[in-house]
Structure 1
Amino acid sequence: MTEQQRQVGGGRAMFGDFAPKLAELTDDVLFDDLWNRAELPARDRSLITVAVLTAGGHADQLRFHLGRAVENGVTQRELIEAITHVTLYAGWPNGMAAMGVAKDLFGQD
């Protein structure tokens, strides 16, 4: 496996003073530990994360993770295809909401 960019969270920047334990878990467990495990490249983790967030209807978190996916080498075309694929398994409203976030983020009218 090739060397990949270390994944870093933003929990402390977002919630450090308000919810320090959540910030710590986000940065130290979710990102520093889980996202940086060698068993899956960050690109694959990003695709999985986008699929799960789409399926669960978590559009608020999807905005961040679509951007992270692009940083991790997933193309916009691949993300649109992944959301389309998930839509037929996870429900039309969730897929449409996710695609709306993608369209907004990628700036296409």
Structure 2
Amino acid sequence: MSKREMGRGLLRKIIGESYFQKREASTNDFNKDLRALSEEYCFGEIWQRPGLPPKTRSLLCIAMLTAMGKSAELRLHVGGAITNGCTVEEIKEVILQSVIYCGLPAGIEANRVAEDVLKERNLI
């Protein structure tokens, strides 16, 4: 199995079948190369490494996306974190820690995004 195929399988698991199918349906000539890059190197290479479990990688993504203020990607990764076994409490703690290092506005936005995702999944 190629790294891209492995990455696509992991991505499908993390983001869920419904979102994966929407992503597939919206792939076009403009975005297909970027998506292939993400599938092969992000999810096929880095996420497949044995050094950190998926749960830890998810928590790191939440912290980094909070720091960068990337709400759309944060939404996706909060859902993925739940899929990867993170608890609501762990997600909350990562966001609270991020507030201290990234600033209150970034933390408030991250908290808002996480809260929306967790409500959608009936977890809070």
Could you tell me the TM-score, scaled by structure 1's length?
0.85
> May I ask how many residue pairs the two structures share in their alignment?
104
2:118 aligned with 1:106, yes or no? yes
2:16 aligned with 1:13, yes or no? no
Q: How far apart are residue 15 of structure 1 and its match?
A: 5.1
For the aligned residues, what is the CA RMSD? 2.1
User: Normalized per residue, which structure has more helix?
Assistant: 2
Pick aligned residue for 2:64 from 40, 49, 52: 52
* 1:14/1:85 CA distance change after superposition, 3 Å: farther
Identity %: 35
Q: Secondary structure at the match of 1:38?
A: coil
Q: Deviations over 1:27-54 (max 9, x none)?
A: 1111111111111111110111100001
Pick aligned residue for 2:88 from 41, 54, 76: 76
Pick aligned residue for 2:78 from 40, 49, 66: 66
- Report the Cα distance in structure 1 between the residues aligned to 2:67 and 2:82, rounded to whole angstroms: 19
Does the aligned pair in 2 maintain the 1:54–1:83 contact within 8 Å?
yes
Whose RCO is larger (CA < 8 A, sep 6+)?
2
Equivalent AA in structure 2 for residue 42 of structure 1? P
* 1:78/1:14 CA distance change after superposition, 3 Å: farther
Does the aligned pair in 2 maintain the 1:46–1:69 contact within 8 Å?
yes
For structure 2, list consecutive stretches of 5 or more residues without a partner in the other structure: 1-8, 13-19
Could you tell me the TM-score, scaled by structure 2's length?
0.75
* 1:27/1:58 CA distance change after superposition, 3 Å: same
For structure 1, list consecutive stretches of 5 or more residues without a partner in the other structure: 1-5
- Report the Cα distance in structure 2 between the residues aligned to 1:37 and 1:75, rounded to whole angstroms: 22
2:111 aligned with 1:89, yes or no? no
